[in-house]
Amino acid sequence: MKTFIKPEIGRRVIVTGKPFYPPNVKTGFHNLPTIISGTVIKSDPRDDVDSFRLATGLSHFPISVVKLTGILDMTYDDGEQAPKEEKAAVSDFVHTITGSKGDEYVVTKSGDNFSCTCKGFGFNRKCKHINQVREMVGA
Ligand SMILES: [Zn+2]
Protein backbone atom coordinates (compact mmCIF):
# COMPACT_ATOMS: atom_id res chain seq x y z
CA MET A 1 0.00 0.00 0.00
CA LYS A 2 1.28 3.45 -0.83
CA THR A 3 0.91 6.21 1.72
CA PHE A 4 1.93 9.85 1.67
CA ILE A 5 5.14 10.89 3.38
CA LYS A 6 4.82 13.47 6.17
CA PRO A 7 5.49 16.89 4.67
CA GLU A 8 8.25 18.91 6.33
CA ILE A 9 7.49 21.71 8.77
CA GLY A 10 6.85 25.02 7.06
CA ARG A 11 5.57 23.47 3.85
CA ARG A 12 2.20 24.69 2.55
CA VAL A 13 0.00 21.79 1.48
CA ILE A 14 -3.49 21.13 0.17
CA VAL A 15 -4.97 17.89 1.51
CA THR A 16 -8.02 16.01 0.25
CA GLY A 17 -9.45 13.32 2.43
CA LYS A 18 -11.01 12.41 5.74
CA PRO A 19 -11.29 12.18 8.66
CA PHE A 20 -9.72 15.29 10.08
CA TYR A 21 -10.18 16.18 13.67
CA PRO A 22 -9.33 19.38 15.44
CA PRO A 23 -7.45 18.75 18.71
CA ASN A 24 -9.65 21.27 20.52
CA VAL A 25 -12.72 19.09 20.05
CA LYS A 26 -13.01 16.43 22.74
CA THR A 27 -15.79 14.47 21.13
CA GLY A 28 -13.53 12.52 18.81
CA PHE A 29 -13.52 12.36 15.05
CA HIS A 30 -15.29 14.97 13.01
CA ASN A 31 -15.97 14.89 9.36
CA LEU A 32 -14.89 18.32 8.26
CA PRO A 33 -14.60 19.70 4.75
CA THR A 34 -12.71 17.17 2.70
CA ILE A 35 -10.27 19.74 1.28
CA ILE A 36 -8.07 21.63 3.67
CA SER A 37 -4.97 23.72 3.15
CA GLY A 38 -2.42 25.09 5.55
CA THR A 39 1.16 25.26 6.71
CA VAL A 40 2.75 22.24 8.37
CA ILE A 41 3.66 22.96 11.99
CA LYS A 42 5.39 20.96 14.72
CA SER A 43 3.42 17.95 15.96
CA ASP A 44 2.44 17.48 19.57
CA PRO A 45 4.17 14.50 21.25
CA ARG A 46 0.70 13.11 21.99
CA ASP A 47 -0.25 13.03 18.30
CA ASP A 48 -0.25 9.73 16.44
CA VAL A 49 3.11 9.04 14.80
CA ASP A 50 1.45 8.79 11.39
CA SER A 51 -0.09 12.25 11.58
CA PHE A 52 0.99 15.84 11.08
CA ARG A 53 -0.42 19.23 12.07
CA LEU A 54 -1.60 21.95 9.77
CA ALA A 55 -2.08 25.58 10.75
CA THR A 56 -5.14 26.35 8.66
CA GLY A 57 -5.56 30.08 9.25
CA LEU A 58 -9.26 29.47 9.96
CA SER A 59 -10.49 31.12 13.17
CA HIS A 60 -12.95 28.34 14.04
CA PHE A 61 -10.53 25.58 13.18
CA PRO A 62 -6.97 26.89 13.52
CA ILE A 63 -5.12 23.57 13.76
CA SER A 64 -5.90 20.34 11.96
CA VAL A 65 -4.31 17.01 12.82
CA VAL A 66 -4.10 15.06 9.58
CA LYS A 67 -3.73 11.28 9.59
CA LEU A 68 -1.55 10.04 6.72
CA THR A 69 -3.86 7.04 6.26
CA GLY A 70 -6.86 9.36 5.86
CA ILE A 71 -5.40 11.28 2.95
CA LEU A 72 -6.81 10.73 -0.52
CA ASP A 73 -4.61 13.30 -2.22
CA MET A 74 -2.00 15.86 -1.19
CA THR A 75 -0.32 18.57 -3.22
CA TYR A 76 2.03 21.42 -2.37
CA ASP A 77 0.76 24.95 -2.87
CA ASP A 78 2.77 25.18 -6.10
CA GLY A 79 0.63 22.33 -7.48
CA GLU A 80 3.33 19.71 -7.17
CA GLN A 81 2.14 16.26 -6.08
CA ALA A 82 3.36 15.27 -2.61
CA PRO A 83 5.44 12.07 -2.68
CA LYS A 84 4.24 8.67 -1.51
CA GLU A 85 6.19 5.73 -0.21
CA GLU A 86 5.52 2.06 -0.49
CA LYS A 87 4.71 0.55 2.86
CA ALA A 88 5.57 -3.13 3.14
CA ALA A 89 2.59 -5.14 4.31
CA VAL A 90 3.59 -5.83 7.89
CA SER A 91 1.31 -8.85 8.01
CA ASP A 92 3.31 -10.84 5.46
CA PHE A 93 5.15 -13.77 6.98
CA VAL A 94 6.33 -17.31 6.62
CA HIS A 95 5.33 -19.87 9.24
CA THR A 96 6.45 -23.48 9.66
CA ILE A 97 3.80 -25.95 10.81
CA THR A 98 4.59 -29.46 11.98
CA GLY A 99 2.00 -31.91 10.63
CA SER A 100 0.45 -34.83 12.51
CA LYS A 101 3.09 -37.23 11.13
CA GLY A 102 5.94 -34.93 12.06
CA ASP A 103 6.40 -33.49 8.59
CA GLU A 104 7.04 -29.78 8.30
CA TYR A 105 5.04 -27.52 6.04
CA VAL A 106 5.74 -23.91 5.29
CA VAL A 107 2.77 -21.56 5.18
CA THR A 108 3.39 -18.24 3.50
CA LYS A 109 1.12 -15.22 3.71
CA SER A 110 1.49 -12.65 0.97
CA GLY A 111 -1.06 -9.87 1.03
CA ASP A 112 -4.40 -11.65 1.37
CA ASN A 113 -3.11 -14.89 -0.11
CA PHE A 114 -1.95 -17.90 1.85
CA SER A 115 -0.02 -20.79 0.40
CA CYS A 116 1.37 -24.01 1.84
CA THR A 117 4.00 -26.51 0.74
CA CYS A 118 1.81 -29.56 1.47
CA LYS A 119 0.25 -31.81 -1.19
CA GLY A 120 -3.28 -30.92 -0.12
CA PHE A 121 -2.69 -27.28 -0.95
CA GLY A 122 -1.26 -28.28 -4.30
CA PHE A 123 -4.56 -29.99 -5.17
CA ASN A 124 -7.16 -27.86 -3.42
CA ARG A 125 -5.45 -24.48 -2.96
CA LYS A 126 -6.43 -24.79 0.70
CA CYS A 127 -5.39 -26.96 3.61
CA LYS A 128 -5.57 -27.42 7.37
CA HIS A 129 -2.12 -25.89 7.89
CA ILE A 130 -3.30 -22.59 6.46
CA ASN A 131 -6.39 -22.78 8.65
CA GLN A 132 -4.15 -23.43 11.63
CA VAL A 133 -1.99 -20.39 10.88
CA ARG A 134 -5.05 -18.24 10.18
CA GLU A 135 -6.41 -19.15 13.59
CA MET A 136 -3.08 -18.37 15.26
CA VAL A 137 -2.81 -14.92 13.72
CA GLY A 138 -6.51 -14.12 13.52
CA ALA A 139 -6.45 -13.56 9.75
ZN1 LIG B 1 -0.81 -27.37 4.07
User: Residue 108: CB partners within 8 Å, gap ≥ 6?
Assistant: 93, 94, 95, 114, 115, 116
Show me where the domains of the chain are located: 2-86, 93-137
Domain 2-86 has CATH 2.30.30: yes
Q: Is the pLDDT of residue 136 over 70?
A: yes
pLDDT for 127: 94
pLDDT one-digit tens code per residue, 94-116: 888 888 888 899 998 877 788 99
Strand 63-67 to 113-116 pairing: unpaired
pLDDT for 18: 58
pTM above 0.75, yes or no: no
Distance 102 CA to ligand 1 centre (A): 13
- The C-alpha torsion from 34 through 39 and 40 to 42, rounded to 10°, is -120
Q: Is the pLDDT of residue 12 over 50?
A: yes
**Residue 87: band (very low, low, confident or very high) from pLDDT cuts 50, 70, 90:** low
Which of the two residues, 117 and 48, has the higher pLDDT score?
117
Distance 113 CA to ligand 1 centre (A): 13
pLDDT one-digit tens code per residue, 42-80: 998 888 888 899 999 988 889 988 888 888 889 999 999
Q: What's the mean per-residue pLDDT of the chain?
A: 82
pLDDT for 9: 96
Distance 130 CA to ligand 1 centre (A): 6
Distance 10 CA to ligand 1 centre (A): 53
